[in-house]
Amino acid sequence: MYQAVHTIMCENPTKKMWDSYLYFESEPTTKAFLQQTYEKQNIPKSNVYAFHNASKFIYYIKQARQYYFSAAESDILVQPLLLYYGMVSLLKAYVLTRDPHYPSNTRVLQHGVTSRKIKRNYYSLAEDEVRVQKEGLLPYLYTFLSKEPLQEKYRLQDLLAIIPELQAAYQRLYKHASLTSVSLSSHRNFERLYTIFYLPDFVLDNVHLTYASFIHYLNRYNQGEAYFAASSLEAPRGIIRLEWHHPEKIHVTESGNGFENILFLHNYKGSFFYKTQAGKNHTIPEVVIHYMIMYVLGMLCRYETERWGEIVFSFMSEDMYMIQEFLTLSARKFPNLVYDLLLQERYIFYTE
């Protein structure tokens, strides 16, 4: 999906990311961008659609920016709602680049998800569920992101488990690991294109496989031209040494799609993680995960105001820790994820 990866060093990554969105707030550059995007998809009359959609696209971006900036200045009592509608505006901008007729009907303007009615006597964020509807923004967006079918419902703890930046908080709160960090070798072999990387050896126990069988297991989940191979060199005790091969990329950090394997994730700083728990959430794009979680939090603060107040202002709920971690992360990462989708390239805004 992503053609390249760019690392942009800056003093303030969040500001630099939003400043990069200014490219889309100019009518000439937006028209050119939309026309080029439509032409790549072989959409007829690309120039006409670009002309008609430019203003709509610009206002989606400007509205999203205002929602996010307002959320940054707002109390947590209303913050999830502002962030959610900021997400919606950004996703509408992306969908418009895939479908020049969007919205073609009112059904695609619905949320596309719903959450179960909250019981009055007890609430647990981890055990809450989000259900996917047949129509609406989420299922329509998903058609442009993945060919795998969406499940009927998702438990929030399972969604939180596959967000890399939340792993430390996840382990502390739920007492087990769902991801483990990948250690990359910085060595580059210009004669043979491969990356050496290391994993803790307990990953073999998790899937009950030998080292050789684990290589085959990883290769079953490849989604591109890359593949994994065993290393001929022994690794230090407690870890395993593997090789990642690609016909064009010298090192995995140069690949816009990372390992090109659904068992591996990367955070917004470019570090990689391996999923220690295989499950049905393998193929969910992270923008979809953020959207579903933020929908639940937004509905909580909008329709269950008293319950939401008890969660965020009392000392009785363990959910507050994870909620705050997620809100902080999503405010920074989600616009970055959509920016990557718009340009079909991965951008890492990073400070030392």
Confidence of residue 306 (pLDDT cuts 50, 70, 90): confident
Q: Does the pLDDT value for residue 147 go beyond 90?
A: no
Confidence of residue 120 (pLDDT cuts 50, 70, 90): low
Same domain, 35 and 167: yes
Total number of domains constituting the chain: 2
Same domain, 36 and 141: yes
d(CA 251, CA 39): 31
Residues with Cβ within 8 Å of 297's Cβ and at least 6 positions away in sequence, in order, are: 80, 84, 323, 326, 327
Q: How confident is the model over 188-206, as pLDDT tens digits?
A: 766 678 999 999 999 999 9
Same domain, 44 and 187: no
Show the tokens assigned to 338: 């959509």
Nearest alpha carbon to residue 13 among 344, 338, 331, 345: 331
The pLDDT value given to residue 119? 60
Same domain, 81 and 215: no
Q: Does the pLDDT value for residue 101 go beyond 90?
A: yes
Q: Tell me the sheet residues that pair with 5.
A: 346
Q: Which domain holds residue 253?
A: 180-275
The pLDDT value given to residue 148? 87
Same domain, 138 and 223: no
Same domain, 137 and 35: yes
The pLDDT value given to residue 41? 96
Q: What is the mean pLDDT of the chain?
A: 93
pTM: 0.95
Same domain, 169 and 295: yes
Average pLDDT over residues 324-340: 98
Confidence of residue 345 (pLDDT cuts 50, 70, 90): very high
Q: How confident is the model over 214-228, as pLDDT tens digits?
A: 999 999 999 999 999
Same domain, 169 and 48: yes
Confidence of residue 1 (pLDDT cuts 50, 70, 90): confident
d(CA 192, CA 212): 21
- DSSP secondary structure letter of residue 106: G
Confidence of residue 3 (pLDDT cuts 50, 70, 90): confident
Average pLDDT over residues 86-110: 95
Average pLDDT over residues 4-8: 94
The pLDDT value given to residue 250? 87
Show the tokens assigned to 192: 């043979």
The pLDDT value given to residue 278? 67
Average pLDDT over residues 272-301: 89
The pLDDT value given to residue 116? 77
Same domain, 168 and 189: no
Same domain, 49 and 123: yes
Phi, psi of 274 (to 5 degrees): -110, 135
Domain boundary among 240, 275, 310: 275
